[in-house]
Amino acid sequence: MNMTAPAPDLTKAAPLPIPTRTTCAYCGVGCGVIATPDGLGSAGIAGDPEHPANLGRLCVKGAALGETLGTGHRILHPAIHGVRTTWNRALDAVAKGIRDTVDMHGPEAVAFYLSGQLLTEDYYVANKLMKGFIGSANVDTNSRLCMASTVAGHRRAFGADIVPNCYEDLEEADLVVLVGSNTAWCHPVLWQRIEQAKAKHGTRIVTIDPRRTVTADSADLHLPIAPGMDSVLFARLLVEIAERKELDHDYVGRNTTGFDEALANARDIAPDRAVTAARCGLDATDLATFLDWWLATPKTVTCFSQGVNQSAQGTDKVNAILNAHLAAGRVGKPGAGPFSLTGQPNAMGGREVGGLANQLAAHMGFSPAEIDRVGRFWQAPRMAQGEGRKAVAMFEAIERGEIKALWVLCTNPAASLPRADAARAALRKLDFLAVSEVNAHADSLIEAATVVLPAAAWGEKNGTVTNSERRISRQRPFVAAPGESRPDWWQICEVARRLGHGAAFAYASPAEIFREHAALSAFENFGGRLFDIGGLADLSDEAYDALEPVQWPLPKGSKIGVKRLFAEGGFVHADGKARFVSLALPALKAERSAEYPLLLNTGRVRDQWHTMTRTGLSPRLARHRNAPFVEVHPEDAALYGLTDGGHAAISSPHGQVELRVVVTDTQQRGSLFAPIHWTDATAARARVGSLVHALTDPVSGQPDSKAVPVAIRPWAIRAQGFIVSRQRLPMPTWLSHARMTVTGGEVVNFASPRAPDALHDLLSNWLNLWTSPLNQRNPASDLYRSASLVRNRLEILLSTGPSADETGLAWATELLAKDPIDGATRRFILAGRAPSAGGGTSRQICACFGVHQSQIEEAARAGADSVEAIGKALKAGTNCGSCRPEIRKLLEEMKTRA
C-alpha cells in the first residue's frame, strides 16, 4: 500500500501570504496563533497578541508549528485492506461494517474511540451518531487517559464538569500551588504568566510532585510527595482550615453540604501533622510551611494536572483539593480557586458534547429525563439507555470478543493505551476496524485496519476548540488538505447518511453543526445546566467565521461570557449546593514486589507532545531530548548496577523496553521516570505504554500511569552509533534505535550488545554501503564510518563505535544540511569533526534560538550570571521562555561547582 505523498512541486508560484488567526494544536492552554502560509508547504507562525489565552506568547512547540506542515508522512487516499480505493467505496465499507455488526451482534458490539485533538464539531456528530442513531454509548476518547478524574471530581463536587476560574487568576494570585504539574514544560505559556506574577508582586510558587522537575527548581517550596498520597496532604489542609479558624462559615453554610462528614473523614486520613508527614514522605518543616502559606493567603490558586489525574486515586485527589477550596470559600474569586490544567487542545470541547462514554451531549447524563430530552432534540430513533464502556474497559471488551467493530478517529490506542501490546493485539481481533488518520506511520494501527480514511490535519481543519478556562476559539484552515484528505465531521456524516440517517446529518459546514450544538446546550435549559452557549446558536456563517474567543456560559441574550463561577454559589446540583466528598483511605493499588521493586512514573518532556506524530517532524524540537531515556536516583543506580549514560532494560508484567539511563537526584528513591513520546514509528524497544498496567480509578475509569510496578537491570551495550540520512530509513526491528528529524533528513541513534565491527558490517549491508568508496575502519579504537555521497550531497552516513559520539553526530548533521558539499569540506566527511570547532555538540537548551549548554556555560564564565544576562548575551530564554528554568538551574550548578 503506497500512501506516502510525492515531493511537492516547488516550481509553482507561491500565493500571496494571507495571515490567518487560528488556535494552537497542542495543549489545553488554547493559545491564539497567526499563521501565514509561504506557498511552499510551510507557514510563518506567530502568537496572536489579541487572544486572551496567550496575548501573543507561544511556547517553542507552538512557535515551531510551521515546521510540521509537510505532507511526506501523510495518508492521501482511502484504502480497503491496504488497497487504494475511492471515497464512495471506503465509506460504503465503513457503513456496512457497522450495519452488519449491529444486525448480527447488536449495537453494544460497536464502538468509537475518539481524541482530544478532534474539533468540537467532529466530536459532536460522532457522539450524535453513536448514542442517538446506532444506539450504544460505547464512545470514548483518549481524554479518558488524561482528564477523566477531573471530570468526575467536578461532577461530584459541583454537579457538573466546570472549571470555575480563568487564566487571569494566575496573575492575580499571591500563592500558586502546582500539584502533579510540570507547568514550565507542559503548559509553558501559563508558566510565563505565573513567573511574571512572581516578578511583579512576589507571588509564591509551591510544587507538589514526587519528582523535582524544572518547575520545582523555580519554586519557593517543593514538596516531594510520596506517590499516590496527594489526598492525604489536602485532607490535612482541610482539617487545619477548620482548626485554625480559616473556615468560611457563611459560604459553607449557604452553598455546600456534607462538610461535617468530610471533616471527620479527613481527620481519619490525616489526624495530625506527624502522621501526614510520615504518610506523604515529607519533611515536617516543609509540610508546616505549605500549610501556613496556604492558610494565610486568601488569594491562592491550586492548579492540578496529570500527576493528580493519572492515578488510581485520581478522583479522590481532585475532590480533596476541591474540599479545601470550598471550605475556605476560595472558589471562583479573583486570584483564588481550584484550576484544572487540561492536557489536550480540545479535551474540554469533547467533554461539552458528550465525548466520554458516561456522558450525553451538553453536560447531560443518562438519567431518563436527560435521555428523553436529548433524544427529542435530535429526533433520534435509537437513544442509548445507559453509559458505555470507558477506554480501558472498551479494549478489554475487544480482547474478549464482545466488541466486534471499532472506528478510531485522530488517535492511536496501540501506542497510548495502558498495556499497549495487548491493545495492539486486540485491534487484530476485531471483525471490522475503520481508522481516520493523517499519519501513514501510525504505530501498527494502519496495518490492522479494514478501512483507512485520510483525515484533514491542523491547518486544514475548520471548527472550534475549548481551552482550560472554558474559552471557545476558532481553529481556521490556512492550507489546502493534501491528496483526498477530508475533515472528520464530513466522514462521519457520510457514513451516517449511508446508514439511513441522512436527514439528521445533512450538514453543509462546521458552522451548521456548531449552531445545533449551541442550540442543544440551551434546549430546555432553565438555568439548571451551566454549560449554555445559546447566545451562539443563531450565528450566521459569516459570524461563525469571525467568532472571537469567548468563554461560557453564554446564554441567549448575552454578548460576553462569564469569567468566574461559584464565588456566590449557584452550583449545578439540584439544590444549588456543592458537595464535600469523603475520600477513600489512600493507598497504592499496585504495590512493589520482590519481582517488581520499583514504581515507574510516566510523563512528558519539554519540546515533544504525545507520540510525536506532529512535533517529531520539527528539526528545532528534536535536539533537546533526542532519544528515549529513564531517570534513576543515584542510590538506585548503584543498587541495580546502572551507570549514567548507560542502558537499562525496564520490565513489567505487560512488556519490556530498553532505554538510556539518566542518573539524577531529582528522582525519588524507589521510583523511575520515563517519557511517553517514543513509539515504534520513532524508536524500537521504547514504547513505555507497553509497561503500563490497566489499573484504573474506580470512579473515573482513568488509568494509573504514575505508579506502575517495574523491574530494572543493566542492558549490556558494546556498540553505539548513529545514521544520518536524507531519506526515512526502514530500520531493522532487532536494533534498539530512536529517530529524530533534522534539517535535510533524519538522524537515527542506535545501541547494541554486538561488537562495533560486527554491527557496522551488518548495518552497512542493510544500508547498501558496503561497496561505498567512503569507508573508514579503525579496529584499534573500534571506530567505523561509512558514507554515500551523490552529486556532492551527503545521502547517508553510518558511524559505529564503542560509545556515543556527540561531536561526530553534530558534524554529520551539519553535513546533511550542506548542499552542495565543497571540495575542502569533502575530505572531512569521515573525520567525525568539523574543520573548525563549534558550540553545537552539547545539549541544546534553547530551541527557539538554537543555543546549546556549552554556549551558556561560556557566557556565564564571561560574566553573564543570571537568566536575564544570558538572554542579553545569547537571546536564550527571551522568546517562549520554556528554557528559562533550565538556564537558571545550569547557572546555579555552575556557581555550586565554583
pLDDT digits (tens, 9 = 90+) for 721-755: 999 999 999 898 889 999 999 999 999 999 999 99
DSSP state of 74: B
Amino acid at 277: A
Percent of the chain residues topping a pLDDT of 70? 97
Confidence category of residue 332, pLDDT binned at 50, 70, 90: very high
Three-state secondary structure call for residue 37: strand
Regarding beta strands 471-475 and 110-114, do their DSSP bridges make them parallel or antiparallel, or are they unpaired? unpaired
Q: Find where cell 510563518 sits.
A: 44
> In the predicted model, what is the mean pLDDT of residues 520-539?
96
Provide mean pLDDT across the span 590-610.
Answer: 92
pLDDT at 391 > cutoff 90: yes
Angle at 473 between CA 472 and CA 474, to 5 degrees: 135
**pLDDT tens by residue, 770-796:** 778 889 999 999 999 999 999 989 999
pLDDT band at 9 (very low <50, low <70, confident <90, very high): very low
Q: How far is CA 833 from CA 106, 244, 740, in A?
A: 65, 65, 20
pLDDT at 672 over 90: yes
Residue 16 has a pLDDT of 54
* 8 band by pLDDT with thresholds 50, 70 and 90: very low
User: Which amino acid appears at position 793 of this protein?
Assistant: R
Average pLDDT of 170-176?
A: 98
| Mean pLDDT computed over every residue of the chain | 93
With vertex at residue 186, the alpha carbon angle to CA 184 and CA 189, rounded to the nearest 5 degrees, is 60
Distance CA 214, CA 634 (A): 18
pLDDT of residue 886: 84
Residue 77 clears pLDDT 80, i.e. is over it = yes
Instruction: Provide the pLDDT for residue 769.
Output: 87
When pLDDT is cut at 50, 70 and 90, the band that residue 3 belongs to is: very low
pLDDT at 489 over 60: yes
Mean pLDDT of 119-143: 98
Dihedral (CA of 518, 519, 525, 527) sign: positive
Confidence class for position 294, pLDDT limits 50, 70, 90: very high
Quick one: 310 exposed, middle or buried, by C-beta within 10 A (0-12, 13-18, 19+)? Answer: buried
Name the band, by pLDDT with cuts 50, 70 and 90, for residue 14: very low
Average pLDDT over residues 323-343: 97
Residue 843 pLDDT > 80, yes or no? no
At position 472, the amino acid (one-letter code) is I
DSSP codes of every residue in 25-73? SSSTT--EEEEEE-SSS-EEEEE-TT-TTTTT---HHHHTGGGG---TT
The phi, psi pair for 372, rounded to 5°, reads: -65, -40
Which pLDDT value is given to residue 5? Answer: 36
Copy the grid coordinates of residue 672.
523511575
Spatial separation of the C-alpha atoms in residues 187 and 198, rounded to whole Å? 17
**SS3 sequence of 96-122:** HHHHHHHHHHCHHHEEEEECCCCCHHH
Q: Note the Cα 120 to chain centre separation in Å.
A: 18
pLDDT score, position 839: 46
Mean pLDDT of 498-526: 97
Instruction: Check residue 12 and give its pLDDT.
Output: 36
For residue 4, pLDDT beyond 50: no
pLDDT of the residue at 49: 97
Whole-number Å distance between alpha carbons of 670 and 548: 49
Segment of 422-431, 586-595, 813-822, 854-863 carrying the highest mean pLDDT: 422-431
pLDDT surpasses 60 at 838 = no
Write down the pLDDT at residue 837: 53
Q: How far apart are CA 854 and CA 845, in angstroms?
A: 9
CA distance 65 to 470: 24
Q: Is 776 helix (H, G, I), strand (E, B) or coil?
A: strand
Helix (H) / strand (E) element for 262: namely helix 259-269
Please write the tens of the pLDDT for every residue from 455-485.
999 999 999 999 999 999 999 999 999 999 9
Q: What is the pLDDT of residues 370-390, one digit of tens each?
A: 999 999 999 999 999 999 999
